[in-house]
Amino acid sequence: MLTQIDVVYSVPLDTWVAATTYQVGSLVLDPDYGQVYEAKVITTNQNPRLTPASWTLLGDQWAKNVPSTKPVSLGLPILGVNLTESLLLREVTGLNPPAIDLFIGEYARDGGFYGGRRVGQRNVVLTVDLNPNPALGETTQGLREILYKIFIDPAVREDHLQLLLHDETGAVRSLYGYVDTFETELFTTETVAQISIVCPDPYIVDAVETELRSPTGTWLVVPFTYDGTAETGLEAEIYITADHGKLNINNNGFVMSLTHNFLINDVVYLNTKRGDRQIRMASLTNVNNMRTANPRLTTKQIWEKLVEAGQTTSLLSKLSLTSPWLELHDTSNKLRVYGTAFTDSVAGVKSLTFRPTFWGV
């Protein structure tokens, strides 16, 4: 059962103020130099530029990969779970599996044939109770304007917002969408707002990725469990440990086969997520150097920076024409890498990343 939905949006960075106490992880802007800093410890009266022991310099506000805004969230508890909040969710629809379009062809005479299916977009509708607290100076109009700002203009450079779905087990799942209608009655005592959010990606995903990374060396075989209910892609970093002309990547009998002159200390990056599929190769030295220089970045972000630096080679043309793109479907999985035969131990998996994906909640 859902207990709360968080609406994630963004606001401009705070400008550092001497009299303010900043918590660990707070992002602030030094207006004199345009630099963004993150607090390492709880700080008061510690200028980011002058006290490097308390702050981490993230870089120029306008530089790539350095945020000029920070994400914040508005919590909307479910009505009946919490009655003291000013904004309460009365009803949520659109979190069941979305409608599926079936392509059925018809024969000239009786019957027909199945030609495939397509999952349409998701439409989530939130009905929010406005429950102003006069003791805090809140008004219905003020709460309505807060919702206007958060839902209709959620970010400085983006139109989408993120919904985080909390349930009674503690699980947090996520989806992205765009507000298309915002309805509220201005001249009635029924102080509710109905907000429609269209989600082009119909799937609901875990808020946090699952990453399996070998602390030392690599794995020839990676057994793992997939808890999602819908198919999803994966990311893998594969280290070449011996010169060979073939690399097979096998999960539960489905095999992607690459033919290339692989050399020891090559690194192969595989991404099978729909809309972002790629296979790239880089040297182990370049991968390690990039990760050392950017320890906070994800595997995908590391490889994006390697691409920007011109340090990768695409291997898409090396993929066998009969190879499927590996996707996670079964609960039990066993990913293995090898050369021409199972016994050819020419590579190992360094990391495996995926995000469990669901049809509904």
186 and 237 co-located in one domain: no
> The domain containing residue 119 runs over which residues?
73-206
Question: pLDDT value at position 59?
Answer: 73
Pairing of strands 27-30, 14-15: parallel
pLDDT digits (tens, 9 = 90+) for 178-207: 999 999 877 766 788 999 999 999 999 999
Task: Between 139 and 357, name the one with better pLDDT.
Answer: 357
pTM of the model: 0.80
pLDDT of the residue at 21 = 87
Rounded mean pLDDT of the chain? 89
218 and 350 part of one domain: yes
Tell me: do 19 and 90 sit in the same domain. Answer: no
Please indicate, yes or no, whether residues 133 and 241 belong to a single structural domain of this protein: no
337 and 327 fall within a common domain: yes
The number of domains in the chain is 3
CA–CA distance, 8 with 72 (Å, rounded to integer): 6
The confidence score (pLDDT) of residue 294 equals 85
* Residue 114 buriedness (CB in 10 A; 0-12 / 13-18 / 19+): exposed
Q: How many CA atoms are closer than 13 Å to the CA of 49, on its beta-carbon side?
A: 12
Q: Which residues lie across from 56 on neighbouring strands? A: 38
Same domain for 219 and 346, yes or no, is yes
pLDDT for 31 beyond 90: no
Residues 48 and 168 in one domain: no
Q: Over the stretch 195-242, which tens digit does the pLDDT of each residue have?
A: 999 999 999 999 989 999 999 999 999 999 999 999 999 999 999 999
* Percent of the chain whose pLDDT exceeds 90: 55
CB 99 within 8 A of CB 199: no
Q: Distance of CA 226 to CAs 151, 235, 256, Å?
A: 33, 14, 19
Say whether both 86 and 42 belong to one domain: no
List the one residue out of 92, 119, 117 whose CA is nearest residue 173: 92
Nearest of 339, 350, 333 to residue 268 by alpha carbon? 350
Kindly report, residue by residue over 55-112, the tens digit of the pLDDT: 888 876 656 566 666 777 788 887 665 556 788 888 999 999 998 999 999 998 889 9
